[in-house]
């Protein structure tokens, strides 16, 4: 499927026209134990300042998360999310009022998503692809917000045939979302680089990303500062920029529509250059 045939996705006043260019999602981590060392904790002013800087540097979406996803971290209970709400809601309220771009809430809990949407979030980013809390789809459907579904293999051992496994996970999530009333054009998929996958599986997924187009959904790629880059280059998270820029360019060539990153300015430049080569002629086709 040619990605340019995908229907546009509306997010408040913003329209994402898939295939015309690559969109950049800037990461604002509020968890103090973020794997990449960028967690801002409860510092609202620092979070707002970072988000504003990212928009100035070219971010099209700001993704706000309050729970660390580093491997081995004990997850917060789905029914006990006061700490997560305490971190994310004040920041989302400020960003929704002050930014010109949509704000996304990075959560897999329907209770957090519901409060975040009420606070101004207009995208829901679920790292569990509705496997942990299917009711999150009902929140997205009721609010009419786009929903990002990730293929997360942390609940199962790495398997052979990782592309088939990711497709199966995403197909199940899509069916659940659409069954709950989420509009087909509001569903975005993410292969879940680094979530329960081996290095070789992660590299294979980036290389074969175009195969996810069979799902007929826009593709988000999130590899920023992740271990696949560290393992290949033998570098800590804060020195993985060049590696991620390489992955970003390859991902765009293979069909990525959104890239989720910590380093917005250099990534936005790579996206513009990659789009000029890969998507030339897309506008007006």
Judge whether 260 counts as a catalytic residue.
yes
Please count the other Cβ atoms lying within 10 Å of the Cβ belonging to residue 99.
18
Q: Which of 93, 98, 134 is nearest to 116 (CA)?
A: 93
Secondary structure element (H or E) that encloses residue 239, with its range: none
Query: Which of 118, 163, 168, 174 has its CA nearest to residue 145?
Result: 118
Q: For residues 211 and 158, what is the distance between their CA atoms, to the nearest angstrom? A: 19
> Smallest Cα–Cα separation from 2: which of 213, 154, 211?
213
Look at the block and give the residue holding tokens 């971290």.
Answer: 73
Q: Kind and range of the H or E element at 165?
A: helix 162-179
CA-CA distance, 206 to 224, in Å (whole number)?
13
Which residues fall within 8 angstroms of residue 88, CB to CB, at 6 or more apart? 30, 64, 65, 66, 105, 107, 112, 116
- Polymer length in residues for the chain: 285
Quote the CA–CA distance of 134 and 138 in Å, as a whole number. Answer: 8
Q: Which of 226, 239, 240, 265 is catalytic?
A: 226
Structure-token pair, residue 86? 């305490």
Q: Rounded to an integer, what distance in angstroms lies between the CA atom of residue 225 and that of residue 261?
A: 8
Would you state the structure tokens that stand for residue 117, as one six-digit string?
Answer: 């949407």
The C-alpha angle 173, 174, 179, rounded to 5 degrees, equals 100
Q: Which of 131, 225, 260, 279 is catalytic?
A: 260
Pair of tokens at residue 45: 């002013």
Note if 217 is an active site residue.
no
| Residues designated as active site | 226, 260
């Amino acid at each position: 499927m040619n990605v340019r045939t995908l229907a546009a996705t509306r997010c408040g006043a913003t329209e994402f026209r898939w295939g015309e260019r690559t969109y950049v999602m800037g990461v604002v981590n509020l968890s103090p134990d973020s794997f990449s060392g960028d967690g801002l904790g409860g510092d609202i002013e620092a979070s707002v300042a970072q988000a504003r800087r990212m928009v100035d540097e070219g971010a099209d979406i700001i993704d706000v998360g309050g729970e660390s996803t580093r491997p081995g971290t004990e997850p917060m209970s789905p029914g006990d999310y006061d700490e997560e709400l305490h971190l994310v809601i004040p920041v989302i309220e400020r960003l929704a009022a002050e930014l010109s771009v949509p704000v996304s809430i990075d959560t897999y809990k329907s209770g957090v998503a519901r409060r975040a949407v009420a606070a101004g979030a207009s995208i829901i980013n679920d790292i569990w692809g509705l496997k942990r809390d299917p009711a999150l789809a009902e929140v997205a459907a009721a609010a009419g917000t786009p929903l990002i579904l990730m293929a997360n293999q942390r609940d199962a051992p790495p398997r052979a045939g990782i592309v088939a496994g990711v497709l199966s996970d995403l197909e199940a999530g899509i069916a659940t979302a659409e069954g709950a009333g989420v509009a087909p054009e509001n569903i975005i998929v993410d292969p879940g680089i680094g979530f329960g996958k081996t290095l070789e599986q992660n590299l294979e997924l980036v290389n074969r990303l175009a195969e996810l187009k069979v799902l007929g959904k826009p593709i988000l790629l999130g590899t920023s500062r992740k271990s696949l880059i560290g393992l290949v280059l033998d570098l800590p998270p804060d020195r993985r920029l060049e590696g991620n820029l390489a992955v970003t360019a390859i991902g765009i060539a293979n069909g990525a529509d959104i890239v989720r990153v910590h380093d917005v300015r250099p990534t936005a430049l790579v996206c513009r250059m990659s789009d000029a080569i890969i998507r030339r002629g897309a506008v007006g086709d």
